[in-house]
Amino acid sequence: MPTAVLLTDPACPALDPALVESLRNAWGGGPAVWLAPGEAAEFPVPQAPSNAPGVWGELQGLGVDLALVPEAGRRKRLLIADMDSTLIRQECIDELAEVAGVGAHVREITARAMNGELDFEGALTERVALLKGLEAGVIDRVLAERITHMSGAAVLAATMRANGAHTLLVSGGFTAFAGPVAAALGFDEAQANVLEAAGGRLTGTVRPPILGRDAKVAALERTAARLGIAPEDAIAVGDGANDLGMLGRAGLGVALHAKPAVQAQAQIRVNHGDLTALLYLQGYRRSEFAPV
């Protein structure tokens, strides 16, 4: 029996109880439970309604996200999360490119790669080559001045860890960013690509092998095996085409504010909520969120 979860932007919670009750009645659902007043509610339904895709579209226009999640094994034991435009609001390579004076060109390549229009590995190699000669010390400045965390990121990690889950940041970006971001948000570990440098300057190369779509799936499977759990016990979140593999492999895959091509293939899409949406999807109440 699936559970229907409705949620909205916690910065301006406006989930109408009448809307929740109307949908519950239309779908023959069980009693509605409010996970957070005005922000998130859920109710069980006998089966996935055939008109769910159309209802999802209508609710999007009201600023409401809708997801149907299996009730069995709902609380996951592994969180695997993308970094760029998921745990942080920026794409790190774009910010470095801005400092290097090639920002517009690199941003265009990034957008196309994340929408699945370009091969990820080739696009990354091309963009990194444009950074050749940039002072390596610029990374610390970009981290301090240009990188901001996505709303709900620290709460998500803290709550899952408090409930016994393992948290892994896995990025097609760079370790120089992933390590500090993971530490700041309270993640257990981080995996990413290594930007090579020599003489205090970037060489314009990435240490092989490049961590792309397949490597993210492998990281999920390897970490799950190490923890003695199945991939179905994981929840994954990302926004780009290189995240689709791990979103499909995890028990619960969430496309967060994702690119159009990703939304078209993702099982769950969150366009209005923040990262705490992943907690609501697992049935956590706001009162259960861990302090940060």
Question: Residues with catalytic annotation?
Answer: 82, 84
Burial 109-127 (b: 16+ CB within 10 A, else e): bbeebbebebebbebbeeb
Find the farthest-apart pair of alpha carbons in the chain and give their distance in angstroms, rounded.
67
What contacts 111, CB < 8 A, 6 or more positions away?
A: 259
Closest CA to 178 of 63, 62, 91, 113: 91
Q: Are 251 and 235 in contact (CB under 8 A)?
A: yes
Pairwise CA distance, residues 74 & 255, whole Å: 17
Using CB atoms within 10 A of its CB, is residue 16 exposed (0-12), middle (13-18) or buried (19+)? middle
* Residues 289 and 155: beta-carbon distance below 8 Å: yes
Phi/psi of residue 164, nearest 5 degrees: 90, 5
Dihedral sign for Cα 254, 255, 257, 263, please: negative
CA 211, CA 199: separation in Å to the nearest integer? 25
Instruction: Tell me, rounded to whole angstroms, the distance of Cα 147 from its chain centroid.
Output: 16
DSSP symbol at 19: H
